[in-house]
């Protein structure tokens, strides 16, 4: 019954925005962003950054960001600093892959470490938002679990040969942007970040359902 209901919901979305157009639009946006960042990746490589060192820099920014969310009540401008550190972490996450592809430094271990550090970053951010009292424990945990499962469904599906890039509403870049934007707004209106976490709790778990259904359909076409 649940699967049938979700199928109906997705069919309604498909009528509004055709699947082909959504996928192509997201792919074009991502490709354009990557092209714009190639020159910056070359500069980063010139000063000594490697894909792995960029990944480590990203997790450090995530750790600084999480500290700001945790201690937001005792540090001036902590929410703004936390969101800036979070954006910097996301930037590093994009940059490590571009450096790897530009300079033919891709490796299985590098991809594994990048994915692993991203999961730690997600846990740090949501954990600190919960500990800082910026959202409820329940919704924070639901959002965290959903975020982790979004990544898991992609990794598991692609291990079976089903591509999941751009599939779903809330991939990691979208989640980072939502948290960062809500953090800025939280400075002016208390409670915004809490509502953003509720939104992410919904979007991430919807994304898990979308990817599960997409995987189910893909393997039955083979």
Predicted local confidence at residue 38, as pLDDT: 83
Radius of gyration of the chain (CA): 18
Domains of the chain, start order: 2-221 (1.20.120.1760)
Residue 2 has pLDDT above 80, yes or no: no
| Whether the predicted pLDDT of 5 surpasses 60 | no
The winner for highest mean pLDDT among 4-8, 10-14, 24-28 is 24-28
For 68-85, what is each residue's pLDDT tens digit? 999 999 988 999 999 999
User: What does the pLDDT read at residue 222?
Assistant: 64
Query: Is the separation of the CB atoms in 102 and 38 below 8 Å?
Result: yes
The angle that helices 137-159 and 192-221 make with each other, rounded to 10 degrees, is 20
The pLDDT value given to residue 39: 82
pLDDT over threshold 90, residue 29: no
Supply the mean pLDDT for the chain: 86
d(CA 127, CA 168): 24
Residue pair 167/200 in contact by the 8 Å Cβ criterion: no
At 31, the pLDDT band (50, 70, 90 cuts) reads low
Give the mean pLDDT of 139-153.
96
Q: pTM for the full model? A: 0.83
**Which long-range contacts does 3-9 make (Cβ < 8 Å, 24+ apart)?**
3/213, 6/209, 6/210, 6/213, 7/213
- Residue 110's H or E segment, with its range, is helix 108-131
Amino acid 7: pLDDT: 47
d(CA 134, CA 59): 21
Mean pLDDT over 122-136 rounds to 96
Annotated active-site residue in 93, 96, 114, 118: 118
Residue 93 among the catalytic residues = no
The answer to whether 159 and 51 are in contact (CB under 8 A) is no
């Amino acid at each position: 019954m649940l699967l049938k209901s979700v199928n109906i919901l997705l069919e309604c979305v498909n009528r509004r925005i055709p699947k082909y157009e959504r996928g192509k639009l997201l792919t074009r946006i991502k490709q354009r962003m990557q092209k714009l960042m190639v020159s910056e990746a070359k500069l980063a490589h010139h000063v000594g950054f490697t894909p792995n060192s960029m990944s480590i820099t990203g997790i450090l920014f995530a750790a600084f960001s999480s500290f700001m969310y945790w201690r937001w009540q005792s540090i001036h401008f902590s929410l703004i600093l936390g969101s800036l550190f979070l954006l910097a972490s996301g930037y590093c996450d994009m940059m490590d892959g571009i450096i790897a592809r530009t300079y033919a430094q891709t490796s299985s271990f590098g991809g594994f470490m990048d994915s692993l550090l991203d999961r730690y970053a997600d846990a740090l951010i949501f954990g600190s938002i919960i500990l800082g009292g910026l959202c409820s424990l329940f919704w924070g945990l639901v959002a965290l679990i959903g975020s982790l499962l979004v990544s898991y469904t992609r990794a598991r599906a692609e291990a079976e040969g089903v591509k999941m890039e751009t599939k779903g509403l809330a991939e990691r870049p979208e989640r980072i942007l939502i948290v960062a934007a809500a953090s800025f707004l939280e400075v002016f209106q208390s409670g915004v970040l809490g509502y953003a976490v509720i939104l992410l709790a919904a979007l991430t778990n919807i994304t898990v359902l979308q990817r599960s259904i997409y995987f189910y359909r893909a393997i039955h076409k083979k």
